[in-house]
Structure 1
Amino acid sequence: MRAALAAEMAVPLDRTFSLRQVRSIREVRELSPVIELSAITFPSGSAAIQPDQSRELAILGTAIKDLIVERPGEVFLIEGYTDAVGAAGYNLALSDRRAETVALALTQYFDVPPANLVTQGYGESLLKVQTLEAEQANRRATVRNITQLLC
């Protein structure tokens, strides 16, 4: 996990971006490797992390904290997603809460400084499994180290 979080971008950059650009432009975000938190999925309509998912969260929290100790300026984007069930506006707000829940857990339980975390929900815009039905794999969170993208 630590190696994945510290990984360099596949394509060298000749420019940087604002945080707003990183959050809102998919092609910019995708310049940075994504880490799927496959063990962290959410119940339908919920932003709560389940107790049985704490191991993956612990691995992530420890890796991020250790990396920040070495490189204090690192910035991580926590992304939240939903499945396609429900209204798009509700799903967007729910995905924001999911990203915030992961970030809050990282700060409260693993002492990751909040200043090193940025959250963003993307609702149902990037379904992992293309279906309009309830799909647990779509109710997820991901993380990217966006430090190299930022101005």
Structure 2
Amino acid sequence: MSIVRNAIPLVVLTGVLSGCAGLQKSDWPTCAAVGGVTGAALGAFESSSYAGWGALIAATTAGGYCWAQGQGQEVVTQVEVEEPMVPSIDPAPAETLRVELDVKFDFDRQVVKPESYADIRDVAEFMKQFPQTTTVVEGHTDAVGTEAYNQSLSERRAMAVREVLVSEFGIQPGRVDAIGFGEARPVADNDSEEGRAINRRVEAVVEARVE
């Protein structure tokens, strides 16, 4: 009968230890220590009939500890989360605003006609709206007369328009230059009166960039 009593705990012990085999290797030293301490305490009994049951209790204690430790193990899975792609937005291109001036003159004259003042005023208002702007006033003539005379006449016409911008409409002198090209840059046929009237002119362009 004592043999059966001793065998049963050993069979149970084998099953408990097999259950612990599923734990991680890192838990075995602790499990073994728990089992050893419990077994040593019960092994102090001299009766062989209690020795087997002591082994069973020791194994059960160790197995329970190992099971509790195994339950505490958490599996951490790293999940990489990709940030959504933010489409790049290109800045809007700068807009260029432009105003043009075309003042016509009578033959062999440099006086600005009254009807041209409205156009000159528009240029002045544009330059006041955009204080960083500057301009170059360009004078031209038809082909009647000598080149030297027409060169001088074109310069006087350019200066006349510049004077209106500065004196009449308040544009700072440093923002307006004047230059004459004489008869060198016709835009129409100088063989006709209509063409020569078109060539007797002063032109200017003002541009402003708006972001």
TM-score, normalised with respect to structure 2: 0.47
Unaligned runs of 5+ in 1: 1-6, 10-32
Structure number with higher helix proportion? 2
- Judge conservation of contact 1:75–1:147 (CA < 8 Å) in 2: no
Counterparts of 2:99 and 2:131 in 1: how far apart (Å)?
20
Report the RMSD for the aligned CA atoms in angstroms: 2.5
Counterparts of 1:84 and 1:118 in 2: how far apart (Å)?
24
Question: What is the SS of the residue equivalent to 1:123?
Answer: coil
Counterparts of 1:35 and 1:64 in 2: how far apart (Å)?
7
- What is the identity, as a one-letter code, of the residue corresponding to 1:35? E
- Judge conservation of contact 1:34–1:142 (CA < 8 Å) in 2: no
TM-score, normalised with respect to structure 1: 0.64
- Judge conservation of contact 2:134–2:175 (CA < 8 Å) in 1: yes
Unaligned runs of 5+ in 2: 1-94
Identity %: 26
State the shift of 1:76 in Å: 0.8
Aligned to 1:41: 104
| Greater relative CO (CA pairs within 8 A, separation 6+) | 1
CA displacement 1:126-147 (0-9 Å, x = unmatched): 1121224552111011112267
CA displacement 1:90-135 (0-9 Å, x = unmatched): 1011001101101101112111221110111111111121224552
- What is the identity, as a one-letter code, of the residue corresponding to 1:58? A
Aligned to 1:114: 173
Aligned to 2:135: 76
- Judge conservation of contact 1:76–1:118 (CA < 8 Å) in 2: yes
Alpha carbons of structure 1 residues 129 and 73: separation in structure 2 relative to 1, 3 Å: same
Alignment counterpart, residue 205 of structure 2, candidates 140, 144, 151: 144
- Judge conservation of contact 2:128–2:171 (CA < 8 Å) in 1: no
Counterparts of 1:110 and 1:36 in 2: how far apart (Å)?
15
- What is the identity, as a one-letter code, of the residue corresponding to 2:166? T
- Judge conservation of contact 1:85–1:133 (CA < 8 Å) in 2: no
Number of residue pairs aligned between Structure 1 and Structure 2: 113
